[in-house]
Amino acid sequence: DSGVTQTPKHLITATGQRVTLRCSPRSGDLSVYWYQQSLDQGLQFLIQYYNGEERAKGNILERFSAQQFPDLHSELNLSSLELGDSALYFCASSFREGLVHEQFFGPGTRLTVL
């Protein structure tokens, strides 16, 4: 158990819908990262937050947005869903930057868009 929690574990929805994925980082970790794993694109970095502020952005679609709250949990919002958004979405967290290198991953949320 990495200490990172993600809910829900599975999500099935229809095209055009909007969903919210939730992540709670390990206790004490200030940074949260979101990654998408799909068969055609592999594992891709989406976005990073550090202590509530956006720190880095990767291949995140405009239909997707995220935020990190004062209690450090994070949410990834996916809207106007398309079939191609079906993927495994991971949240990862890390300790104070520069001190610990590992990113600890949550169990992932498997999103299926029908």
Partner 1 sequence: AQKITQTQPGMFVQEKEAVTLDCTYDTSDPSYGLFWYKQPSSGEMIFLIYQGSYDQQNATEGRYSLNFQKARKSANLVISASQLGDSAMYFCAMREGQGDYKLSFGAGTTVTVRA
Nearest to partner 1 of 40, 71 (CB atom): 40
> What is the footprint of partner 1 within residues 55-114 (CB under 8 A)?
55-56, 58, 88, 90, 92, 94, 97-98, 101-108, 110
* Least distance between partner 1 and beta carbon 72 (Å): 16
Residue 36 CA neighbour count, 13 Å, CB half: 23
Q: What CA–CA distance (Å, rounded) separates 59 from 47?
A: 8
- Cα dihedral 97, 50, 106, 6 in deg (nearest 10): 160
Q: What is the DSSP letter of 25?
A: P
Among 43, 77, 112, 114, binds partner 1 (CB under 8 A): 43
Q: Does 52 bind partner 1 (CB under 8 A)?
A: no
Residue 99's region, left for phi above 0, alpha for psi from -120 to 50, else beta, is: alpha
Q: Does 28 bind partner 1 (CB under 8 A)?
A: no
Q: Does 48 bind partner 1 (CB under 8 A)?
A: yes
* Least distance between partner 1 and beta carbon 78 (Å): 19
Q: What CA–CA distance (Å, rounded) separates 59 from 62?
A: 10
The footprint of partner 1 (CB under 8 A) covers: 2, 31, 33, 35, 42-45, 48, 55-56, 58, 88, 90, 92, 94, 97-98, 101-108, 110
